[in-house]
Structure 1
Amino acid sequence: MIEYPNLKSTTLKKEKDYIQIYFRKVYSWMFCGLLLTAFVAWYVSNTAQIVNYILNNKFFLLSLCFLQFMLVFVISNFLNRLSGKTLTTLFMFYSSLTGLTTAGIFSSYNQNTIFTAFITTSFTFLAMCLWGYFTKKDLSYLGNIIIMGIFGIIIASLINLWIQNNLISSIINYVSVIFFTLLVSYDTQKLKNIAKKISLNVNDRDNLRRYAILGALMLYLDFINLFFVILRLIDNNNDDE
């Protein structure tokens, strides 16, 4: 009797391999971006003239933030128009700017608080990535919930700038942790679905590079936002003790 190869099984195996290749590239570029951000933030924090200039020049700081917003917009919306190398350069430039604009945390928070926040964020981020990657449950329904939740957080934060209530601030931080942890899992599953769609073009290295940079940017933003929320939460808890 003639035995035919299980083509479906072979295809699934190849797809699984392609997904793993894609995620390795995503996490590699994300790690490079975070490392560059940490280095720039550390270097700038040890250069008093730069820190003072940034903190005392609000227009310059707002300009940097606007430039960051534009870089995210360009990478997200011109993905298929730019080469992988160009997108990589833009992502690394964005990571550098983030380090520049966040260098002030070293003067605002003590090193123990920063280290604790980083470790907590890392483990939380890893756990939610694993859940988003391995869960068979469709997390797409979380998209609108997360978007509405984040908008609510932004509005509440703006209101609290005027009220300046510590209790409201703590509630905002706790709620923010919930939504940003869910966002990590949501984005991870979203990237897994993207990997399945581009698996047929895995031999197109530039195409793979472009989507890897997009994934790296998404998870990078998730990590940074989660880190700062946890940092504020830990700092507030320390102040209450």
Structure 2
Amino acid sequence: MANWNDSRMTVTESAARGRNGASERDAGLRSYMLSVYNYMAGGVLLTGIVAYLVAHSALGAAIIFSPLRWLVILAPLAFVFALSAGVNRFKLSTLKTLFWSYAAVMGLSMAVIFFVYTGTSIAQTFFATAAAFAGLSVFGYLTKKDLSGIGSFLIMAVFGLIVASLLNMFIHSSSLQFGISALGVLIFAGLTAYDTQQIKSMYFMTSGGEYAGKMAVMGALSLYLDFINMFSFLLNFMGDRR
């Protein structure tokens, strides 16, 4: 009789520990994803503030309409490469500094949209992008379907999009630009769901601590890039030019 009671207690304790472990894991995942979204949203906000201030300053206009604009346009790429290459070598504090610096420099690059499109259309496109991004990210978080195959295809499509964009810089085809914008919206919409699923999966592959913090920053960078690119391509459709 005593042995049966001991066995029952062992099973009960084991089940309780399993439930507690699952609860802790779920709480950790929620905290991790919240950190990712906070970084991403903060980066978008910083980019928007910098873009607005630069566009409405005399210095900003001088930079954008001078050869320095190419430095401003290409500078964000250096930050992306630095973040990607240094994720294992840099401290978490360094990655955070690079991320916020990247978001600020991206604001310099994005300032040009205020000279091309009306403020109303920029605001409308931003909120449309935010709504679409939220829905797609939630889908990527909740879906049980493995999006790896789709993600691999979309990543290859991004390279094709870059080549087409570079080509159109020389031929200036409005039809090609329309096609690039349409594909760009679809590609980065799909990548939003894919990247969210990948970020969620990465949590279960980390042991916590500083490395989990680094993965949160890199996850935020991926979602930030998805948002900014989807916004930029969508603006070509919805934006009213000045």
Normalised to the residue count of structure 2, the TM-score between the two structures is 0.89
Counterpart check, 1:149 vs 2:153: no
Matched with 2:211 is 207
Partners of 1:67 and 1:234 lie apart in 2 by 27
Residue 241 of structure 2 is aligned to residue 234 of structure 1: no
Aligned residue for 1:27? 37
Structure 2 distance, partners of 1:212, 1:41, is: 25
Q: Is the 8 A contact 2:72 2:105 kept in 1?
A: yes
Moved more, 213-222 or 1-10: 1-10
Q: How many Å separate the matches in 2 of 1:10 and 1:137?
A: 27
Q: Give per-residue Cα distances to partners, 1:191-219, cap 9 Å, x unaligned.
A: 00111112x32xx2x33322211111111
**Bigger radius of gyration:** 2
- Cα displacement string for residues 3-60 of structure 1 (whole angstroms, at most 9, x for unaligned residues): 4232444433322221111111111111111111111111111102322223212xx3
Corresponding residue pairs, total: 231
Tell me the equivalent position of 2:22: 12
2:48 corresponds to = 38
Give the fraction of aligned pairs with identical amino acids, expressed as a percent: 32
What CA distance in whole angstroms lies between the structure 1 residues aligned with 2:27 and 2:85? 28
- 1:167 maps to which of 172, 175, 199: 175
Report which structure shows greater RCO (CA 8 Å, sep ≥6). Answer: 1
In structure 1, the residue corresponding to 2:178 is in which secondary structure?
A: helix
> Match of 1:234, as an amino acid?
M
Q: What SS is found at the alignment partner of 2:204?
A: helix
1:224 aligns with 2:223: no
Q: How does 1:73-88 map to 2 (within 5 A)?
A: 73-88=81-96
